[in-house]
Amino acid sequence: MAIDRARCTMLQKLLLPLLRGARLENCAAVTQRCLSTTPSLWKKKMPDRPPPINEEDFTEVFLKGSGPGGQKINKTSSAVQLKHIPTGMVLKVQATRSRTQNRKLARQMLAERLELLEKGKESRVAVVGETKKKRKSSAVKKSKRKYRALAEEKAANLQEGNDATGEEQEGFGEDEDGLEEDEDEDERSPDDQGKAPEMGSLKATGSEKVNGT
């Protein structure tokens, strides 16, 4: 029995790492499948970049730059001008101070413009531009909806405040009317009403005395 238990323990020690490794591999495969398929469902695939143009199809000239940038721009020939021979398209690039980077950008931009000239709306430049335009339009609409909702909420709060103020003023007016009525009743109290005849009687007795005399 002790030997069997020892064998079982050894087998468990040997098999556990293998089982764990298999489980990790399965999890990694599932995760990789999820990560690889999920973006393709939501993200629109862009067209591939146009292939580079043959060096024989265009001429290259280096020019002095212009505008802000200091002496590195104005006194060195860092700007690149390309002319496509078959179409006659001319392109000048002065994006950076480095001639190497300007040459690379000029070739890339020339290839994109030729693709746009050839494919039109199906070119990469047109698709990217349309996507950016839609995103910008969507952001503008979202911003307008947000500010419209804020304005409506502000107007509703202001209206509620005005209604509450009007109710308070009406209640205050009713209280004033009640106070005025109470004051009138106080002025016409029985004491005041009794005093008036007394004054009249005094005047009458006074006049009788005068007449008697």
DSSP 78-115: -EEEEEETTT--EEEE-SSS-HHHHHHHHHHHHHHHHH
Q: Let me know if residue 173 belongs to a domain.
A: no
Alpha-carbon gap, residue 159 to 115, rounded angstroms: 59
Alpha-carbon gap, residue 154 to 159, rounded angstroms: 9
Q: Let me know if residue 60 belongs to a domain.
A: yes
Amino acid at 5: R
| pLDDT at res. 211 | 46
Q: Let me know if residue 71 belongs to a domain.
A: yes
- Domain around 81: 55-122
Q: Let me know if residue 90 belongs to a domain.
A: yes
Query: For residue 83, what are the contacts with CB-CB under 8 A and spacing of at least 6?
Result: 58, 59, 61, 89, 90, 91
CATH of the domain at 92: 3.30.160.20
Query: For residue 158, what are the contacts with CB-CB under 8 A and spacing of at least 6?
Result: none
Structure token digits, residue 70: 């200091």
Q: Let me know if residue 109 belongs to a domain.
A: yes
Q: Let me know if residue 62 belongs to a domain.
A: yes
pLDDT digits (tens), the chain, 213 positions: 556 666 667 766 776 666 666 555 555 554 455 444 444 444 667 777 888 888 899 999 998 877 666 666 777 888 999 999 999 999 999 888 888 999 999 999 999 999 888 888 888 888 888 888 888 888 998 898 899 999 988 888 888 877 777 666 666 555 555 555 555 555 555 555 455 445 444 444 544 444 444
Q: Let me know if residue 111 belongs to a domain.
A: yes
3-state secondary structure of 82: strand
Q: How many domains does the chain have?
A: 1
Q: Let me know if residue 176 belongs to a domain.
A: no
Structure token digits, residue 207: 């006049």
Residue 151 and residue 127 in contact, taking contact as beta carbons nearer than 8 Å: no
Neighbours of 80 (CB within 10 A): 23
Q: What is the pTM of this model?
A: 0.46
